[in-house]
Amino acid sequence: MKRALILVGATLLGLLGGCGWWKERSTKRENVAPPRPLAELVPTLKVQTLWQTSVGKGAGRSGVRLGPNVIDGRVYAASVNGRIAALDATTGKALWNKGTKYEFASAPAVDGDLLVVGTLNGEVVALDAKSGAERWTDEVSSEVISMPAVALGTVVVRSNDGHVFGLDAANGTRRWTYDRTAVPLLSLRGNAAPLLDGSAVYLGGDNGKVIALRGDNGGTLWEQTLALNEGRTEVERLNDADGALVFDGGTLFAASHHGSVAALAANNGRPLWTREFSSYTGTAVSGTQVFSVDADSNVWALDRSTGGSSWKQDALLHRWLTAPAVQGDYVVVGDVEGYVHWLAQSDGHAVARERLAKDPIRAQPVVAGDTVFVEDDTGRIAAYRIAP
């Protein structure tokens, strides 16, 4: 069991964590740099707020990055106080909204008419995506705070103690378990959601490794280290590869804390390029560029082929940004004070800013078509469209 340690208060709540508990301490006693004040912005991009609504109480004080999922014109969202809903992506109106006994802790994964979501108590809950009716539940070894992966009749779930489970999508029956990931005594609170592509499952680990498993039996295909467990203290040795993984064109893009950002050949894990980097949020990819946010909340654009720097935006320093998302020609990030920022892909300059509310946004924005969906820690969700 890994030990939980929350070092920070309002600006960093949930960055570090462990076995399902958390605490909050005053930042006055911590050496935490305050968010950089935002410069006045004259927007050059018009952003329309299509709608705004709430689903339960969101992540609350759980420290998880709880965000929505958007599939086939529906927005699915869950909250730690047990509410789960499907919303019309165009209007935000609830198609169904139900209360449950579960403390939901992951974004809902959807495949066809099956919805699967994890909880703080280690349950995996399957619902009918069209109606919200419960189908089955299973219990795994620890809380499930990353979105499961569902495809080809298999549900892949990563629990917070490092175990990975392959479940039968029809009834939740356990098909296989992977339990050979070494989990350090201390790690960041959060897990990279598993990616299920064809016959392979890709995962980022708390030990700084990216791992590929067979989807049919959980056998190891390859492992690649992004960060070494080095440093004088446990905090300095934090090396989680917890950020969002991206699979694109046979290449896997990943980043780790106190390690590197890398492009890996998905078939064998061979590094195509790596560069020293520290990130707890992961990457996004568009065209010839890879976007990532470093541990100080600088936003970077890297050359997709070489990893070389295209630009760096430091105007959002210490604003504890989300993982980046790509909406058209722009990079979108949320911050700890509830702002959503749009940056130009070409050079990183700020082009628009909206404020969802005053609560932190921790989950990566989700782009579907011409709309980006953003959720804050209180369960407030908004849909933004770039105006023509």
The 3-class SS string of 211-277 reads EEEECCCCCEEEEEECCCCCCCCCCCCCCCCCCECEEECCEEEEECCCEEEEEEECCCCCEEEEEEE
Task: Give the pLDDT score at 280.
Answer: 84
> Residue 182 burial (CB < 10 Å; 0-12/13-18/19+)?
exposed
Beta bridge partners of 137: 125
Distance CA 115, CA 71 (A): 11
Task: Give the pLDDT score at 231.
Answer: 47
Task: Give the pLDDT score at 1.
Answer: 37
Task: Give the pLDDT score at 21.
Answer: 29
Task: Give the pLDDT score at 16.
Answer: 42
Task: Give the pLDDT score at 259.
Answer: 72
**Tokens of residue 180, six digits:** 């050979």
Distance CA 332, CA 317 (A): 15
45 φ/ψ angles, rounded to the nearest 5 degrees = -130, 130
**Tokens of residue 381, six digits:** 């969700």
CATH code 2.40.128.630 region(s) in the chain: 66-180
> Residue 90 burial (CB < 10 Å; 0-12/13-18/19+)?
middle
Task: Give the pLDDT score at 110.
Answer: 97
66-180 CATH, one of 2.40.128.630, 1.10.3720.10, 1.25.40.20, 2.160.10.10: 2.40.128.630
Burial 65-75 (b: 16+ CB within 10 A, else e): bbbbbbbeebb
pLDDT tens digits, one per residue of 56-110: 999 998 889 999 999 999 999 999 999 999 999 999 999 999 999 999 999 999 9
Task: Give the pLDDT score at 192.
Answer: 76
Task: Give the pLDDT score at 289.
Answer: 97
Cα angle 316-296-35, degrees, rounded to a multiple of 5? 45
pLDDT tens digits, one per residue of 279-326: 888 899 999 999 999 989 999 999 999 999 999 999 999 999 999 999
Task: Give the pLDDT score at 255.
Answer: 87
* Maximal CA-CA distance, the chain: 55
Low-confidence ranges of the chain (pLDDT < 70): 1-31, 181-191, 227-241, 258
Contact (Cβ atoms closer than 8 angstroms) between residue 168 and residue 175: yes
Hey, how many other C-beta atoms are within 10 angstroms of the C-beta on 251? 18
Task: Give the pLDDT score at 388.
Answer: 85
